[in-house]
C-alpha cells in the first residue's frame, strides 16, 4: 500500500525465477491486498464485507478496497507463489485516457485515500524504509522522496479560507443558514440572518452543536417553498449561503433567487461540503439531471423517503430495524434537513455552471478554495454582472 501514492504491485517486472526481496517471491505470506486478476475468497466472507464497492469504485481499486475490508474484519489476505498466471493489465477495459475516465479514476483514488489513509501511510506488509516510487522493493531515499500518500500538506482552516473571501464584502447583505459558523464580517458590512428554523428550534433539533455560536435569526424562510420572495430585486450588496444548497430539494432555484436579489456587481459567497471529506463518502453523487427533474414532482417539498440514502449509507444499522422504526428515523432525518444532495467539487462546479446557463445568470468567479486546501469544502466568491 502507498506505492505510487495509492497501491501497486510488488516485484513488478521481476524474472519468474527471481527469489525477490528477502526471498518473498518464493514464500507463502500475508499482504494487505492482492489483485482481483487472480483472487479467490469464501462466499460467506465476501458477503460479510458487502463485496465489491460498485458505486464508488466502478473500475479501479475495488479489489484493494475489498481486501482491506476483509483484513479489517479480522481475516488475512494470503499470497502464494505456487499459482502462476499471465495477466494482460487492463486489456479488457482499456486505458484511462479520456476526460471522463480520467475524472473517474481521480475520484476513485481520492475515495481510497480518504477511506484507507492510515494503512496507506503504514502498511504492515511493507517496510517504511522501502521506496514508494518504484515497485521493486528498493530503498527509500528519504531526503529526496516525499510521502506520496499524504503529501504532508499544511491544510488551512476552512474558516480562514472563508474569511479571505469575506474581506471583499461591504454594504448590506444577508447570510442564509449561518448556523454555528456565522461569517465574521468587517465594519463595512451590515447583515441580517435567514434560516428555515428559529434559533430556539435549532437548539432543540441540534443538541450537539455549540449553541453559544448561534445568532438570532431575523427572517425565517424556506428556500424550497418561497425562495427569497421577502427581498426585492437587486436589493442586496452581498449574499452568503454556506452549506445550505446540499439540504435543498431545489438548490437550482435557490441559486437563481440569490442572483435576483443581488445588486449588479454584488457578491455571492457559497460553500458546499465535498463528499470525499465528509460522512457522505459512501454515498453516490447526486446528478444534475435528477435535481432538475424534481420540478416535475407532485409534492414540492421533501418527504421522509427522500432521506433513505442517508439512512442506508450513514446509518446502516437502521436497515435491520422494522419498517415503523425506519419511518420514524427518516422523519427525524427530514426534520434535521440532512443532506439531500451529495457533490464532490468537480460535480458541483458542473452543476453550478449548468444552473447559470439554463437560467441566464451572469456570475463571474473571483476566487475559490478547494477541499485539497482546507480538507473539507469547496467555497467560492462570485460577482454579479
How far apart (Å, rounded) are the C-alpha atoms in residues 372 and 243?
A: 17
pLDDT of residue 139: 82
Residue 87: exposed, middle, or buried by beta-carbon count in 10 A (0-12, 13-18, 19+)? exposed
pLDDT of residue 130: 85
Strand partners, 66: none
pLDDT of residue 143: 59
pLDDT of residue 254: 97
How far apart (Å, rounded) are the C-alpha atoms in residues 382 and 378?
A: 13
Nearest one of 53, 36, 46 to 92, comparing CA atoms: 36
Domains along the chain?
A: 3-121 (no CATH), 158-302+337-384 (3.40.50.150)
Q: C-alpha cell of 239?
A: 449574499
Strands (E), 145-214: 171-176, 189-195
pLDDT of residue 309: 93
Mean pLDDT of successive 10-residue segments in the chain (385 residues)?
Answer: 84 85 90 90 94 88 93 93 82 71 81 86 86 82 56 68 96 96 95 95 90 93 95 98 97 98 98 92 90 92 94 91 94 94 94 97 96 91 97
pLDDT of residue 5: 78
pLDDT of residue 120: 86
How far apart (Å, rounded) are the C-alpha atoms in residues 32 and 120?
A: 10
Place of cell 455552471: 353
Nearest one of 109, 159, 149, 121 to 276, comparing CA atoms: 109
In contact, 188 and 171? CB cutoff 8 Å:
yes
Residue 118: exposed, middle, or buried by beta-carbon count in 10 A (0-12, 13-18, 19+)? exposed
Alpha helix positions (H), the chain: 43-48, 62-72, 99-121, 158-166, 199-205, 223-226, 251-261, 288-292, 308-314, 323-335, 345-358, 371-374
Amino acid at each position: 500500500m502507498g506505492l505510487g501514492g495509492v497501491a501497486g504491485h510488488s516485484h513488478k517486472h521481476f524474472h519468474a525465477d527471481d527469489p525477490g526481496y528477502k526471498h518473498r517471491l518464493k514464500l507463502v505470506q500475508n499482504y494487505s491486498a492482492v489483485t482481483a486478476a487472480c483472487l479467490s475468497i469464501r462466499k460467506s466472507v465476501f458477503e460479510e464485507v458487502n463485496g465489491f464497492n460498485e458505486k464508488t469504485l466502478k473500475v479501479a481499486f475495488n479489489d484493494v478496497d475489498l481486501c482491506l475490508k476483509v483484513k479489517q474484519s479480522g481475516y488475512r489476505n494470503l499470497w502464494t507463489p505456487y499459482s502462476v498466471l499471465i495477466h494482460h493489465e487492463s486489456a479488457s477495459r482499456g486505458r484511462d485516457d479520456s476526460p471522463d475516465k480520467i475524472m473517474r479514476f481521480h475520484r476513485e483514488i481520492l475515495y481510497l485515500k480518504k477511506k484507507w489513509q492510515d494503512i496507506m501511510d503504514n502498511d504492515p506488509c511493507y517496510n517504511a524504509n522501502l521506496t514508494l516510487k518504484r515497485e521493486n522493493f528498493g530503498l527509500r531515499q528519504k531526503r529526496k522522496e516525499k510521502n506520496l500518500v499524504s503529501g504532508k500538506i499544511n491544510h488551512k482552516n476552512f474558516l480562514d479560507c472563508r474569511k479571505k473571501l469575506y474581506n471583499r464584502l461591504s454594504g448590506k447583505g444577508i447570510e442564509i443558514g449561518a448556523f454555528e459558523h456565522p461569517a465574521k464580517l468587517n465594519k463595512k458590512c451590515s447583515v441580517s440572518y435567514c434560516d428555515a428554523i428559529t434559533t430556539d428550534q435549532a437548539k432543540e433539533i441540534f443538541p450537539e452543536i455549540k449553541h453559544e455560536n448561534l445568532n438570532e435569526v431575523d427572517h425565517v424562510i424556506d428556500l424550497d417553498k418561497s425562495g427569497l420572495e421577502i427581498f426585492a430585486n437587486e436589493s442586496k450588496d452581498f449574499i452568503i449561503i454556506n452549506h445550505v444548497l446540499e439540504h435543498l430539494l431545489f438548490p437550482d432555484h435557490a441559486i437563481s433567487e440569490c442572483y435576483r436579489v443581488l445588486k449588479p456587481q454584488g457578491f455571492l459567497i457559497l460553500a458546499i461540503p465535498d463528499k470525499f471529506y465528509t460522512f457522505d463518502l459512501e454515498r453516490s453523487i447526486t446528478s444534475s439531471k435528477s435535481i432538475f427533474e424534481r420540478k416535475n414532482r407532485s409534492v414540492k417539498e421533501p418527504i421522509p423517503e427522500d432521506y433513505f440514502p442517508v439512512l442506508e449509507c450513514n446509518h446502516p444499522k437502521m436497515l435491520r430495524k422494522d419498517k415503523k422504526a425506519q419511518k420514524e428515523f427518516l422523519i427525524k432525518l427530514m426534520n434535521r434537513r440532512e443532506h439531500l444532495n451529495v457533490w464532490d467539487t468537480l460535480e458541483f462546479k458542473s452543476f453550478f455552471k449548468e444552473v447559470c446557463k439554463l437560467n441566464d445568470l451572469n456570475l463571474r468567479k473571483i476566487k475559490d478554495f478547494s477541499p485539497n486546501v482546507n480538507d473539507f469544502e469547496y467555497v467560492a466568491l462570485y460577482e454579479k454582472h
